[in-house]
Chain A
Amino acid sequence: MIIEYLRPNSLEEAVKFLQRENPITLPLGGGSVLSKYQANPIAVVDLQALGLNRIKIEKGLIEIGATATLSEMETVLKNDVITDVIRFQAGKNQRNSGTIAGLINVADGRSPLLTLLLAKDAQLTWQPGNKQISLESWLPQRRDWHDAQLITKVTLPEVMIRFDSIGRTPKDRPIVAIAAAKWPMGKLRVAIGGFGGLPILAFDGDVHEDVAKAVDEAYSSSEDQWASSAYRREAGRKLASRLVQETMDK
């Protein structure tokens, strides 16, 4: 239950609020999740006045402000693959209010966009301290992350990205999702999703290595009510092979 709403005008003020222990004070992005929060009394810090929604593409890097909405990303990035994945992630209304940092904080393993960000080796910038942590490092700690800090920026390299998935319909949440990012020097990162609490980095190495095998192994414990792990392994291998081939053909 939200008992206090705060809208600070500076990052310092926001951080100060977040450092409070009583009541528990949480950052509010678009509100999709926290607006429904029912359990304990909390205060929310609305970040909308902090100007953290800028998106910049410079020197091979894409810098996305934490409160940039998914719609704003679509508009600025103009990348077909990323646009498709963002549109796959959510319908129009949710894209208009959902923020990139919000997604990183709450999305699960069936999130196409979180899978893509992991493949792209997204880096998270935290304030205060201007500390940078990779998404890959941070995600496993997400549930226990109580540091009174804010993600202020998400940085992505401008590298080739490919994505494919399998669901029951074209826009149903995927049960198998593969994102493959390829760097100009041949480095390849492949993330898998479609199950569980978080996407998994299945492969980080040279494009000529056995990616399909890595994907197969990454899906080895993926059994749930939506699909068997045997299915995910088999289908994941196929998708991964095709995506890697696409990156090589390119």
Chain B
Amino acid sequence: MKITLNINGKKIDREIEAGMILLDFLRGEGYFGAKFGGCKKGECGACTVLLDGKSINSCSTLAAQAQGHKINTIEGVGEHPDQGWKKTGGLSLIQNALMDSGGIQCGYCTPAMVLNAEALFKENSNPTEMDIRDAFSGILCRCTGYEKPVKAIEFAQKVREGKITSDNLEETLINAVLPEMSTITESPVFDHVGKPDKKIDGIKLVQGKPAYTNDIELRGMLVGKILHSTVAHALIKSIDASEAKGLKGVHAVLTWKDIPRVVYSTAGQSDPIPGPLDMFSLDNKVRFVGDRVAFVAAESEENANAALAKIKVEYEELPILLDSKKSMDSDAPRLHDEPEYVNFADSDATKNLAAKIRIDVGDVEQGFKEADLIFEGDYSVPKVQQAHIEPHVVISYWDEDDRMVIRTSTQVPFHVRRILAPVLGLPIKRIRVIKPRVGGGFGGKQEVLLEDAAAHLTIATGKPIRMEFDREEEFIASRSRHPMKIHMKTGVKKDGTITANEMYALSDTGAYGCHALTVTGNTGQKSMALYVGDGKYRKKPNIRFYADIVYTNTPPAGAFRGYGVPQGYWAVERHMEKIVRALRLDPLEFRLKNALRSEELQPFSTSWSEGREPRPEVVHTVGLEQCVLLGSKAIDWQKKYDNPIWHTIPGKPYLRKGIGVAMVMQGTAIPYLDMGGASLKMNEDGSFNLLIGATDLGTGSDTILAQMVGEVIGVPIEDIIVYSSDTDFTPFDKGAYASSTTYISGTAVTKAARIVAERIKIRAADMLSTKEHLVSPEEISLKDRIAKCNDGKQVTLQEIGYNSLHHNNQEQIMGVASYVAPSSPPPFAAQFAEVTVDIETGKLVVDKLVMAVDAGKIVNPITASGQIEGGMVQALGYAVCEEMIYDNKGQAREKDLVDYHIFRADEMPELKTIFVETYEPTHPFGAKAVAEIPMDGVAPAVGNAILDACGAELYENPATPERILNGIKEMRVK
């Protein structure tokens, strides 16, 4: 049919299919600001456009429906203010506010936020905070926790009302969103580090520029699709793709018979992979509902779907193993009987054991003997999803040199290249991996999940392939957090001294063992390291961590922000609360009494290190006590805890308020293993190209790495062009995981910058030298784009740039450096939660979350607090609503973001972030990690607050109303 659409005031006539979706139409016309979130019910809102001024989901609207209406996309809102000779109106007020506030993280939902706010301003001259939150209610943001975006619109409104001017919007907004800061270790004074610089990539994201993997079109590109298993465990008895291959528009159908059988692991980790090799691109056996059966390449989505429907698969169904407690039974169905299976460490496929951990620190049995009381408890945590709004997506093609190019939304481009090489039968040198902007990852993209499938299809067809998961595929065929069943046993003296602490974790890795060992290793290594005991136990703690990581016929688990540690803290901190209540101890004092202190040994560092050789590590900086002090003050702990009046609400006899705490520590990078590299090149205008393999998932790492360069070179971050990443051009980096970018990549960047600074100083000294005064490079300092001699003489970096490239003794000023850390300095935090419980129904409302964090020196307080806010909200989902359930056939209950609920802007508790700054001596600017720690404490703090409110002991999260009500009843029975 023929339609005419009015897009941003421009009329476009096209002949289209009647069922064409507006989103596809717009993206086909180059309006890439409308994003695909994979959903089928319009729940994520990433595809927002305005139709006659009202926000709608373009993924749930036919293009034909939009005829006769005015369509506005992000491309029509604002422009870069400086386009050379062309003058523009610049960005809109809302775009500027979002940039200034730090309200942009991965940026995938940012165009939707801009458009919804623009619509709100048009229909409401005086919107309240609730109006703004309602305007955002149709957009799911997994990164920000909505705090800063909402604040941005509030302050844009103040500009509209004339309460502030657009000129001072930036300053007032930054002040409004800055977290509370407290310093307990003075750091040197820095010009750029520690400053709330705006994200350097914000301007492209706020305009909805085509920055993501899927935002390109290639001639002749085909659509790649995967046929997923409908059964949980079966042999593929026969598979017939002949009919599918014969369909119109179908270019290839690949089954296990068509490609080499190469065993590998999808875990994006350094070589050698610390886990079993147990996966094939395609196999003749399926191990979970959603497992791969076949790949299809076709000219359109419809052609591809038609081909999937015509592949005839005959399964020989096998017994299903869903309960991890039965995995190691002698009569349990065996998932991996393939001869190619490669063990790692203690894995044993005959027992469905993907990994096994046995760590003893000190003498645990002696510690139990010395205890006055022994506390035991069983806890469990569910399988949950990363739920990044940009789905997994990849584009693969042969380039002109017959090299395989993989453009992919990944956290680990270099690991992708290495892992793919044997799978594809190509040498590493013939693979190039390009990582464009990533629309959220949270560990889900630390996995080689689609890249091999697309590349196989490119090899088969010779054509470019686009492959993207929809939301259902994300749930049934992607990765998740390991569910665990955890037993705790703790010996305690009557005065509250912990004498021994033991954890056993039964971890369910699902059908494949990706990250099996390392995730669960971190469960113990981080959460069981915090409480070492007091007195003599502090010097020689008694800690045991045993774990079995087993296979089941469920979708594989993998990496998810926090990497095993949130599971551990649910058990540890709920267990500590149990001890506190039983011994009538002060929850804060008890925890601090037993917690690790500065200059003590990380107790696990002598016993375990991600499957590698362990080496002793001293923890230099611990700001936990100050975190407790400031966090408890912020939530008014002293007035609320143990105060019966505060716990009740007048006029609502069925409501009870409660307050809870959890203390946590994480890690920073993986010592002696993961390496980051950087190169820095000077241009003639005094700008610099920073090339890094590190991957910014929305965390702001590109920005803070630029700040570190700026600190060394003496330039503002707008003079630094950051490019990340391309395995052909950027130095190696292990990628974004293990809270390592600030620490590892940051040190590499700093080292590269120091090399460049040295070259600049040498040249500046040469340029400033006279016959009378030979200037030494040591006399030169770099600041404000100037190289200045002690005697006051100076040259600009631009002059140095021209001099070095064009005028005299020409050279490319450039530095390349890399870094491997010898330690993993842990960040610490005190997490507080305040809740209201309906004791007649179990209904729970989380009212407030306060997190006080010691992450060392904060390089950028706005991006860092954005990490804490967004992390707390993800963790809140873990606490109250997120879980993945399977029926007795292994079929998933959650297949979309409706049933798998993630928090909306209009239902948020109050959030507060406090940074307690220590100065970590092993980092050039004193920094530790911040990205993962907010995942750790919310669930146990909420659980402890529920206990405080109504006496319900929850051993299993999330804290659903029914579990809470059952807990209340059990408490009454006791």
Contacts and interface: CB of A to CB of B under 8 A. Distances in A.
B65 A46 contact: yes
A5 B68 CA distance: 14
A147 B739 CA distance: 60
A5 B18 contact: yes
Nearest to A225: B893
Contacts of B960: 168, 227
A5 B901 contact: no
A244 interface: no
A56 interface: no
Contacts of A43: 18
Contacts of B134: 87, 92
A15 interface: no
B965 A36 contact: no
Nearest to A238: B840
Contact of B881 (A37, A169, A238): A169
Interface string A155-169: 000000000001111
Interface stretch (A128-136, A170-178, A182-190): A170-178
A96 B841 contact: no
A54 interface: no
Interface stretch (A27-35, A58-66, A112-120, A203-211): A27-35
A175 B55 contact: no
Nearest to A49: B68
Nearest to B877: A169
Contacts of B40: 36
Report which residue of A5, A35, A71, A175 has the largest number of chain B beta carbons within 10 angstroms of its beta carbon: A35
Contacts of A235: 840-843, 961, 965
A35 B65 CA distance: 10
Interface in A73-130: 87, 90-97
Nearest to A31: B61
A168 B900 CA distance: 11
B45 A173 contact: no
A2 interface: yes
Contacts of B67: 7
B363 interface: no
Contact of A93 (B19, B42, B305, B893): B42
Interface stretch (B218-226, B750-758, B902-910): B902-910
B116 A92 contact: yes
A171 B907 contact: yes
Contacts of B42: 32, 93-94
A167 B843 CA distance: 7
B827 interface: no
A219 to B, nearest CB: 13
Report which residue of B48, B55, B56, B62 has the largest number of chain A beta carbons within 10 angstroms of its beta carbon: B56
Contact of A91 (B62, B137, B893): B137
A239 interface: yes
B958 interface: yes
A92 B893 contact: no
A3 to B, nearest CB: 6
Contacts of B57: 32, 93-94, 97
A92 B881 contact: no
B965 A91 contact: no
Contact of A225 (B116, B135, B887): B887
A166 B903 contact: no
Contacts of A231: 842, 961-962, 965
Interface in B35-89: 40-43, 45, 48, 51, 54-57, 59-62, 64-65, 67
A23 to B, nearest CB: 11
Given A3-B18, A94-B42, A231-B962, A173 B898 contact: yes
Report which residue of A46, A96, A176 has the largest number of chain B beta carbons within 10 angstroms of its beta carbon: A96
Contacts of B137: 87, 91-92, 171
B1 interface: yes
Interface string B101-137: 0000000000000001000000000000000001111
Given A93-B56, A166-B961, A7 B901 contact: no
A107 B593 CA distance: 54
B61 A97 contact: yes
B845 interface: yes
Contacts of A227: 960-962
B884 to A, nearest CB: 11
B885 interface: yes
B958 A168 contact: yes
Contacts of A87: 134, 137, 906
B881 A172 contact: yes
B904 A91 contact: yes
Contact of A170 (B1, B845, B885, B893): B845
Interface residues of A, number: 46
A170 B907 contact: yes
Interface in B495-510: none
A168 B135 contact: no
Interface string A5-41: 1010000000000000000000010111001111000
A30 B958 CA distance: 35
A191 B54 CA distance: 32
A4 B62 CA distance: 11
Contacts of B898: 173
A234 interface: yes
A248 interface: no
B971 to A, nearest CB: 16
Nearest to A43: B18
A93 B37 CA distance: 14
Contacts of B881: 168-169, 172
Interface in B115-174: 116, 134-139
Contacts of B56: 93, 96-97
B901 A92 contact: no
A48 interface: yes
Contacts of B19: 1-3, 5, 35, 37
A228 interface: yes
B328 to A, nearest CB: 27
Contact of B965 (A2, A3, A5, A234): A234
A238 B48 CA distance: 40
B946 to A, nearest CB: 13
A30 B41 CA distance: 12
A226 to B, nearest CB: 8
Interface in B810-862: 838, 840-845
B55 to A, nearest CB: 5
A92 B138 contact: yes
Nearest to B57: A93
A228 to B, nearest CB: 7
B54 A71 contact: yes
Contacts of B305: 38
Given A93-B48, A168-B881, A32 B60 contact: yes
Report which residue of B64, B67, B302, B844 has the largest number of chain A beta carbons within 10 angstroms of its beta carbon: B64
B136 A92 contact: yes
A148 B538 CA distance: 79
Interface string A188-219: 00000000000000000000000000000000
Closest 3 A/B residue pairs (Cβ): A91-B138, A2-B19, A93-B138
Given A31-B60, A93-B55, A235-B841, 5 more contacts: A4-B18, A93-B138, A168-B881, A171-B901, A234-B841
Interface of B: 1, 17-19, 21, 40-43, 45, 48, 51, 54-57, 59-62, 64-65, 67, 116, 134-139, 302, 305, 654, 838, 840-845, 880-881, 885, 887, 893, 898-899, 901, 903-904, 906-907, 958, 960-962, 965
28 contacts: A28-B62, A31-B62, A32-B41, A32-B42, A35-B59, A36-B40, A36-B60, A37-B19, A44-B18, A48-B65, A91-B45, A91-B138, A92-B55, A92-B134, A92-B135, A93-B56, A93-B139, A96-B56, A97-B51, A97-B56, A97-B61, A171-B137, A173-B898, A173-B899, A225-B893, A231-B842, A231-B962, A234-B965
Interface of A: 1-5, 7, 28, 30-32, 35-38, 43-44, 46, 48, 71, 87, 90-97, 166-173, 175-176, 225, 227-228, 231, 234-235, 238-239
